[in-house]
Amino acid sequence: MDKPNWENSDLFGMMTLKRSLFSFKDETLKDIIERAREMEDKYGHFFDYILVNQDMDRAYNELLEEINRLEVEPQWVPIQWVDS
């Protein structure tokens, strides 16, 4: 799951969300976002899908779609995992 896109959010919505969900100082929130970007750069290749939690209903529907896709698409694992 990914963080909301703060740069593209309207100011009122962002401030409301920020006040209601976070009790962090601005510097702390910026640090969290920067660390998330660093983790995505470093480990992003391990993930097939990134779910952005901008809107709860939309994120929920996207999560259900991804789960349904995973149920029908073939998956693979290393052969060593199967032969253990």
Instruction: Please tell me the distance from the alpha carbon of residue 27 to that of residue 6, in angstroms, as a whole number.
Output: 14
Q: What's the pLDDT tens digit per position in 35-53?
A: 989 999 999 998 888 888 8
What is the radius of gyration, based on Cα positions, of the chain?
17
Domain boundaries, given as residue ranges, for the chain: 6-72
CA dihedral 26, 15, 63, 1 (to 10 degrees): -10
Dihedral sign, Cα of residue 61, residue 63, residue 67, residue 73:
positive
Q: What is the pTM of this model?
A: 0.51
Query: Which helix (H) or strand (E) is 22 found in, with range?
Result: none
* Residue with more model confidence, 75 or 8: 75
